[in-house]
Amino acid sequence: MRAMCWRRVLSMLDNFLFFTELTSLPVNDVKGRRIGRVKDAALVPVVNPSRIDRYLVGGGVAWFTVRFDQIQSISLDKGIDLSDEHLTPYHDDEYMMRLGRDLLDQQIIDVTGRKVVRVTDLTLELRNDGVRDWLIVRDVDVGIRSILRRLLQGAVPPRWIRRLQQPIAPKSISWDFCNVVEPDPQRRLRLNISYQKLEDMHPADLADIVEELTPAEREAIFETIDSEVAADALSEIDPKMQASILEALEPEKAADIVEEMSPDEAADALNELEETTSEEILHEMDSEPKSEVQELLDFEEDTAGGLMNTEYVALGDDATVSQALQALQENEELLENLNTIFLVDEEGRLSAAIPLARLFLVSDGAPLKQLASESFIQVTVEEHQDQVLELFDKYNLLTLPVVDESGKLAGVITADDVISVLRQK
């Protein structure tokens, strides 16, 4: 009794078909004669991103293309029954994404799981609109369960395979959260592949994913995604790989991305490049970010000058709290990482450092100078990075001002710069 109920539940749930089952399903014409078996199936993403549009049927030597609207019914046990006689011989067209050829065994990006996965099988959902049966791609299958299916496919009847795989937990990714990677831009357009889903990911996750891909695929992603997202992700990537990505891109696109990076990270990235390439990229950059980056490029990599960035807020000696607040408003993009305001004299020489939080303790009109730290530590641009690390450690610094030979404020080193140095060691 129980077994019967269970069977009924199963058959009710039987509205899916694995791709391994679809291939080799027999195809019968309107008179019920078998004309061949399914060899592959294809999506036409510009028309519909998940509906299987074409079924490639092999009978004898030639392959036919069966459009989805030429099908009457699809079932695992009876195969595919057609409703139309007029089949066209198969010819490859560029708008077709073939599941067996282009997806199976290839790598795709699992956007929610934030990783690169290899497609072992696909779960197709069987739908019926009263007129005909059709299939949509529902999940991409990975893991042992789908490996078992692939290994047994053709050797063991499909129903048995379904029973055998029962005890293994399924591991699937919804097709909606998958992103196919296609290095060829022409083909990308025809297959309607975009990397928009990737733009919503955290830059650090995107960076991890990109590191797992091949150089051509990396290049394809950085070429098409928004420059700001690209810059954030690029900042999180290993310097050597940064260089190879920037080198592969068109100089204009590379310049767009570098402009969006913080100047010190941009300088580090350009430093890794061959001279001619980095000059090409600099040449394409807008003048303001370009001059900031160029200043930083002059410093040796392992000195304070090479570590520092120019994203700081500095005010005159006699500035008040309200002026400071105004300056902060004007530099909104810096706020996320800002914790100190610097005071400089008329010649630009550093005179005091104000911890940001102290601004809350006094009234608007108060001079900033009285909030200054009792003593502050500074280094010159030539200071070796090991000394810088030691200062951060010894004095528990978050921000360290860097001055040039004449004592003028040149930039700041922040804790995250120090952390990247330590990570690379």
Partner 1 sequence: MLKILKRFRYHLAVFLAVLGPGFITANVDNDSGGIFTYSAAGARYGYLPLWTLVPITLVLIVTQEMCSRMGAATGKGLSDLIREQFGLRITFLMMALLVIVNLTNVMAEFAGVASSLELFSVSRYLSVPLAAVGVWFLIVKGNYKSVEKIFLVGCALYVTYIVSGFLVKPDWKEAAVYSVKPVLMLEPGYIYMLIGLVGTTIAPWMQFYLQSAVVEKGITAKEYAASRVEVIVGCIVTDIVAFFIIVACAGAIYSVKPTDIQDAKEAALGLKPFGQYAFLLFSAGLLNASVFAACVLPLSTAYCVCEGLGFESGVNRRFGEAPVFYGLYTSLIVVGAAVTLIPGFPLVTMILLSQVLNGMLLPFVLIPMVLLINKHDLMGEFVNPRWFNLVAWVTVVVIIGISMAYLGFLIRGVH
> What is the contact surface with partner 1 in residues (CB under 8 A)?
104-107, 115, 117-120, 142-143, 147, 150-151, 213-217, 238, 240-241, 244, 247, 274-275
CB of 411 to partner 1, least distance (A): 22
CA distance 233 to 85: 52
Our CB check for partner 1 shows the closer of 80 and 104 to be: 104
Render 78-130 in DSSP notation, one character per residue: TEEEES----EE----TT-EEIIIIITTSEEEETTTTEEEE--EEEEEEEE-S
Our CB check for partner 1 shows the closer of 214 and 326 to be: 214
- Characterise 209 by phi-psi region: left (phi > 0), alpha (psi -120 to 50), beta (else): alpha
CB of 19 to partner 1, least distance (A): 12
CB of 192 to partner 1, least distance (A): 22
Our CB check for partner 1 shows the closer of 157 and 316 to be: 157
β partners of residue 18:
123
Our CB check for partner 1 shows the closer of 54 and 218 to be: 218
Our CB check for partner 1 shows the closer of 275 and 374 to be: 275
Residue 213 burial (10 A CB sphere; 0-12, 13-18, 19+): middle
CB of 146 to partner 1, least distance (A): 9
Our CB check for partner 1 shows the closer of 45 and 100 to be: 100
Specify the DSSP element, H or E, that contains 41. strand 34-43
CB of 244 to partner 1, least distance (A): 5
Our CB check for partner 1 shows the closer of 115 and 384 to be: 115
* Cα dist from 219 to 106, 180, 243, 246, whole Å: 18, 14, 11, 8
**Token digits for 386?**
């090991």
β partners of residue 81:
28, 73
Render 349-369 in DSSP notation, one character per residue: BEEEEEEGGGGGGS-TTSBGG
**Token digits for 200?**
């919503």
CB of 391 to partner 1, least distance (A): 25
C-beta separation of 316 from 326 below 8 A = no
CA distance 315 to 327: 8
**Token digits for 84?**
């139309």
Our CB check for partner 1 shows the closer of 118 and 408 to be: 118
DSSP state of 43: E
CB of 98 to partner 1, least distance (A): 14
CB of 222 to partner 1, least distance (A): 14
